[in-house]
Amino acid sequence: MEIENCSPDVVSRWIIEKYPRENEYSDPFKVLVSTILSQRTRDENTEEASRRLFEVYEDADAIARAEPGDLYALIKASGMYRQKAERIVNCARIILETFNGEVPDTLEELTSIPGVGRKTANIVLNISFGKPALAVDTHVHRISNRLGWISTKRTEDTEFALMDLISPELWGPVNGSMVEFGREICRPLMPRCEVCGIKSCCEFFSQNSQQSVGK
């Protein structure tokens, strides 16, 4: 069943309801590390790497004592494991030395840690600290542009543009739900517009439909 009200809030709530996403971790450090592990890999790879890593190293203190090479075999499933291992160990050491062992709860402090960008920081802020924070990845960027809400080239521009369009209470959950929606329906290539419940609100679908009619 398609929706009739096409405001960004209504469409966002529809996506959140139809494509919910559960967060495996809530502990700030585990959310931070698992988000680093998730970069450029699939969910199942992230889950395997995170599970294996946290079975051996439970917290920042334990990982800070390790060397990057100690993590290679544990996180290999996530890909780019050498870079990620170095980033994770360095991150753990900075949290101990600079933040007294506690993951900081501000965007400025989180992004001061090498390897922690706005997306990762916003995920931690929302999931672990319950703060309104909008994480923008390729799915959120693609879908919001296809819908015609915005016209942006960079994910950072998308973040700020969406913050003006979507209510703060939706910022956190819309990220995970747009990821699920983007994998199942609004795919990068060959999106499944024919079964999409919000195609009546989508500029991309409207333009492609008009082109098909004109041929």
> What are the catalytic residues?
119, 137
Backbone CA torsion sign across 109, 115, 121, 124: negative
172, 154 in Cβ contact below 8 A?
A: no
Gap between the Cα atoms of 41 and 108, Å rounded: 26
Look up residue 116 and give its two tokens: 């922690």
Gap between the Cα atoms of 120 and 139, Å rounded: 15
Gap between the Cα atoms of 31 and 28, Å rounded: 5
Gap between the Cα atoms of 94 and 81, Å rounded: 20
190: left (phi over 0), alpha (psi -120 to 50) or beta: left
